[in-house]
Amino acid sequence: MPKQMKIFSCNANRPMAEEICASLGVPLSKLDVKKFSDGEISVEVKENVRGADVFIVQPTCPPVNDHLMELIITVDAMRRASARRITAVMPYYGYARQDRKVRPRVPITSKAVAEMLMAVGTRRVLCMDLHAGQIQAFFNIPVDHLYAAPVLLDHIRGTFDNVIMVSPDAGGVERTRAFAKRLNADLAIIDKRRERANECEALHVIGDVTGKTAILLDDMVDTAGTLCGAAAKLIERGAREVHACCSHPVLSGPAIERLEDSCIKSLVVTNSIPLRGDALRCDKITVLSVSELLGQAISRIHTEDSVSTLFV
């Protein structure tokens, strides 16, 4: 008898979980995740999961610690309820930027998060556009790493012309080059220097952007300092207009204010992280859904089919 698939959602992005279930034609299973008055998290699985193939949809987006603890406690609850296999579906992996020691006496927090997830009983991880690909090696369990590229590329093809793809820093060149190749577009790079966390200075543009529609590409937008500084340099160097694309709209601190005041015409993001607060009212932001892509991956994991064809 084949094991039953059950999809649950904690509180981080329930609308995405509902979209995933709609794409698969299955109901969203019942899970109660609440807080006690002292802030402790309470989890109760509201249906039988014995012998089931369980998928828990929970990006660890802000508030990161609350959502991470919700996921860890929910995995523990599923294991104690005798689920056969538990897969953490993490479209956004919080703490991904702390993937190595950049100074003495600092932690590698993304590794610690991986160890916590494995310790409570996670047996597989499905994630999207990790900030650092080596995070996959922090797990001793299978990790399926998807990319939002197919969705973003379709939007760029159908919306913009005379495009040049721009990497906002040296670290994103490989990602941006892959987009430029698929779009048959040119590539430019912003040379920048980061002085301290959440602050950077864009220095100059490598490549000719004169008269072109510049598309800045990054894996995430946090405080938007990088993108807005890069956009100003691109306009200064003769770009006709500047747009930005990213997978994960973290949009913390002054991000929305900076975006509104910048020369960026539009910011295209995915629904890996739900917009909140001022971001919901920002006309410059366009949200694309990656729920169907995640649904396909979940279906293939459940049926033990290859997921690699989705790794674009």
Rounded Cα distance, 178 and 173, in Å? 9
CA within 13 Å, CB half, 48: 4
Q: How far, rounded to the nearest angstrom, does the alpha carbon of residue 235 sit from its chain's CA centroid? A: 28
> Active-site residue 192, yes or no?
yes
Candidates 6, 111, 192, 212; catalytic one: 192
Q: Would the pLDDT of 202 be above 70?
A: no
Rounded Cα distance, 306 and 39, in Å? 41
Rg value, the chain, Cα: 20
Q: pLDDT confidence of 204, banded at 50, 70, 90?
A: confident
Q: pLDDT confidence of 104, banded at 50, 70, 90?
A: very high
Q: What are the tens digits of pLDDT across the range 164-188?
A: 999 998 889 999 999 999 999 999 9
**Pairing state of beta strands 186-196 and 199-206?**
antiparallel
Phi and psi, residue 44, nearest 5°? -140, 125
Rounded Cα distance, 297 and 71, in Å? 20
pLDDT at 3: 79
Residue 154, burial from CB neighbour count under 10 angstroms (0-12, 13-18, 19+): exposed
Mean pLDDT over each residue of the chain, to the nearest integer = 94
pLDDT at 1: 44
Q: What are the tens digits of pLDDT across the range 69-95?
A: 999 999 999 999 999 999 999 999 999
pLDDT at 19: 98
Which pTM does this prediction carry? 0.93
For the segment 49-63, the average pLDDT, to the nearest whole number, is 97
For the segment 102-123, the average pLDDT, to the nearest whole number, is 97
Q: Would the pLDDT of 203 be above 80?
A: no
For the segment 207-212, the average pLDDT, to the nearest whole number, is 96
CA 100 → CA 35, 130, 142, 297, distances in Å?
33, 14, 21, 29
Strand order in the sheet with 186-196: 199-206, 186-196, 163-167, 213-221, 241-249, 264-270, 285-288
Residue 295, burial from CB neighbour count under 10 angstroms (0-12, 13-18, 19+): buried
Q: What percent of the chain has pLDDT over 70?
A: 95
Q: Would the pLDDT of 132 be above 70?
A: yes
pLDDT at 169: 86
pLDDT at 311: 67
Is the Cβ–Cβ distance between 132 and 110 less than 8 Å? yes
Q: What are the tens digits of pLDDT across the range 215-224?
A: 999 999 999 9
Is the Cβ–Cβ distance between 56 and 10 less than 8 Å? yes
